[in-house]
Amino acid sequence: MDHDPVVRNPGTDLDLDWVASVQINTSAVERRAATLPKRRSVKKQWQAAWLLRAITLIDLTTLSGDDTPSNVKRLCAKARRPVRPDLLRALGAEDLGITTGAVCVYHAMVKHAVAALEGTNIPVAAVSTGFPSGLTPLAQRLAEIRASVQDGAKEIDIVISRHLALQHDWQGLYDEIKACREACGEAHMKTILATGELGSLRNVGRASLVAMMAGSDFIKTSTGKESVNATPAVGLVMCRAIRAYEARTGHRVGFKPAGGIRKAKEALLWLALMKEELGDRYLEPDLFRFGASSLLSDIERQLEHHVTGRYAAYHHQPMS
């Protein structure tokens, strides 16, 4: 799809009056979020097309303590060819060059992922800044960012210090995120708000604005390690913040829900949310990503059902 390239968000000065003005009607947000699965439904070939699009938006992720170079290489092989060739042929999509949006790993695995993806346009994203807690010293977090960029990461997923948002220390939060953005250099920065630990939707809205003012290229819901991760209500608040920021500054910022998104029908819900709240331009990988690991397997099962009328076992869609 032809579209204007996204100019990186340069950030703005911190506007504390704007941050303080954010108010959230929680019951209204929850009602709006609850309508999405009831009002938006795509079937048959249209569903298959939406699911193929969803694959191109996945940050295929492994963030386990037992990650090894070999399983990261297998994940990268799946990112290169995320759907079985026979299914792509049956769908008439074999010439579309479908890959996942990125591969997301810990810093220690960046070099292995970069090597495994050589010759492709699939970027490597590294989680950084003391992921998932964000409680290591700032100098150490910044050094980790620089090391990941040096190893070849094109995207950095940072995590905020939640206590700054909980204490409404917006200046402190802004300064930390801005320092991280500077450490990223040319690598795009996704700022993880860990929304399940921010206490209220109002804090989510305010932290979203601060993160964008500090120069975030994306804002992201969760690390995937919190007890509550990506929810439609949180997504709605963050999308509205993105829309308000673009309206005021002219700068587009991407959105990444992550954590707990495992089913194809959930991916369809998020795509509908993006289309309704931000428009078709936000259905492209330069402005929207899913953080997911098992989601791809369920999407592939749904595509096989569309082609054959039968659901396959998950081991027919392995990660390697």
Catalytic residue IDs: 157, 220, 256
Instruction: Kindly report the backbone phi and psi dihedral angles of residue 232, in degrees, each rounded to the nearest multiple of 5, phi listed first.
Output: -60, -35
Among residues 238, 290, 287, 234, which one has the least CA distance to residue 264?
A: 290
Among residues 272, 269, 261, which one has the least CA distance to residue 297?
A: 261
Distance CA(135)–CA(138), nearest Å, equals 8
Q: How many CA atoms lie within 13 A of 2 on its CB side?
A: 0
Return the number of other C-beta atoms located less than 10 Å from residue 246's C-beta. 15
Residue 162, C-beta contacts closer than 8 angstroms, at least 6 positions apart: 134, 194, 197, 198
Distance CA(290)–CA(6), nearest Å, equals 18
